[in-house]
Amino acid sequence: MLYKKLSELTDEERNKLVGRGGGDLADVGETVAAILKDVKHNGDSALREYTKKFDGADIEAIEVSKEEIDEAAKSVDPELLANLEFAAANIRKFHEAQMPQRIWFIEVSPGIELGQKFTALESVGAYVPGGRASYPSTALMTIVPAKVAGVKNVVMCTPPGKDGKVNPLTLAAAKVAGADHVYKIGGVQAVAGMAYGTDTVMKVDKIVGPGNVFVTSAKMQVRDMAEIDFPAGPSEVLIIADDSCNARMAASDMIAQAEHDPNAVSVIVTTSEKLAEAVKVEVLKQAKETLRTEIVNTSLENAAVLVADSMEECIVFSNEFAPEHLEIMVEDEDAVLEGIEHAGSIFVGNYAPVPVGDYASGTNHVLPTAGYARLYSGLNLAHFMKSASIQRISKQGLETLKDPVISLAEKEGLQGHADSVRTRFE
């Protein structure tokens, strides 16, 4: 774990922090491309082959039956099921608030109305990771908003265990969220199945959801066949703090991110040297107490405790870092929030740790990582919709547009464009 004054970071140290994850996609590109090509040409047989190779599971049926899903939901502890439904309700409520007016118009001048019409995508594929842990919460985060938007067909792909079965809690979450189809395939092969379609797997218009570097690379490579949300890799948190922050709380938030993945990144930048020292001590202490010690200790090699000279310096660094998760644990929260320009999801106050957004507050936890928050927004209702512009124009309205359109069209040498307007007045 790096412990240093922010102003004393070497170029190499700063570049490593800010450029985390860079280059990984290129490293796996050829391997991913070969799998994509195989699934594209060989369909279900390739899906079964790669599921055996990468997940150690022999599967005959690729789609999880409705009966299996119902049985899985019944097997889940009723309290857990209630918690899933509680989280789904909050996620639904938050995303319903994002719903645009389906059709709207403004009158820009007499006889000219301009507007937009929003419609949902017809089909969406939700990728829910497996591997080191199961993520029923991701099933909720990807499927519920799609259904709120009005997507007719929402399919979910998630890898099976070695027994060829999907985690029952993940299946229960898919049912609660309203998935139309569930496929027990993961990794690059799942992305390929959803992008190209097979005899079993439905081809979709868009693929959303997080994954490892192979999944992210696959999503980036199939964009000619299916749109994607954004690159989403290992989890990360940046905490901006001052003397008002509780060191034990901040350290626990860093550990919470570290336990996700060996490549996860946890950083705190603070104006208080006293807090920085206390956080460092607490992180090392809590790392020994966590259940996922090996993953946490590996991840903490990517962690940093940084001391800034001013809160402005903290804000500048945060915007340069563009974190997936940003926690603001300072006395003057609004001033810091005002200065933030790049972040996937923002958590304000000592009692707003990242896990509340991961599970149950209602905001979406599918977020851009590795600095992509500079370019992309976290998953939201707009990802599942598209808009068309509308022009409703009367003869009176066209009269006011006639001369500018004819003049500009003829200047560009497009006589037919000019005549299509002119003929309406002959």
Separation in Å, CA 267 to CA 12, 82, 100, 359: 16, 34, 36, 21
- Residue 181: phi and psi, rounded to 5, are -145, 145
Strands 181-183 and 265-270: unpaired
| Nearest one of 267, 266, 269, 253 to 307, comparing CA atoms | 269
Its sign, for the CA torsion 409, 412, 415, 420, is negative
CB proximity list for 179: less than 8 A, separation 6 or greater:
126, 139, 143, 154, 155, 156
Could you give the CA distance from residue 183 to residue 255 in angstroms, rounded to a whole number?
A: 32
Report residue 332 CA to chain centroid gap.
29
CB proximity list for 51: less than 8 A, separation 6 or greater:
57, 59, 159, 160, 184, 185, 186, 189
| Nearest one of 345, 125, 147 to 219, comparing CA atoms | 125
State the binding site for Zn(2+): 257, 260, 358, 417
| Nearest one of 245, 351, 383, 364 to 305, comparing CA atoms | 245
Could you give the CA distance from residue 411 to residue 125 in angstroms, rounded to a whole number?
A: 46
CB proximity list for 375: less than 8 A, separation 6 or greater:
230, 368
State the binding site for substrate: 235, 257, 260, 325, 358, 412, 417
Its sign, for the CA torsion 237, 314, 248, 284, is positive
Beta bridge partners of 123: 153
DSSP 8-class letter at 242: -
Could you give the CA distance from residue 239 to residue 252 in angstroms, rounded to a whole number?
A: 12
Q: Rounded to the nearest 10 degrees, what angle do helices 213-221 and 24-55 cross at?
A: 110
State the binding site: 127, 189, 212, 235, 257, 260, 325, 358, 412, 417
Q: Where are the beta strands (DSSP E) in 121-175?
A: 123-127, 153-157
Is 330:311 a contact under the CB 8 Å cutoff? yes
- Residue 243: phi and psi, rounded to 5, are -60, -20
Give catalytic residues, as residue numbers.
324-325
Residue tagged 């903490």 (tokens): 300
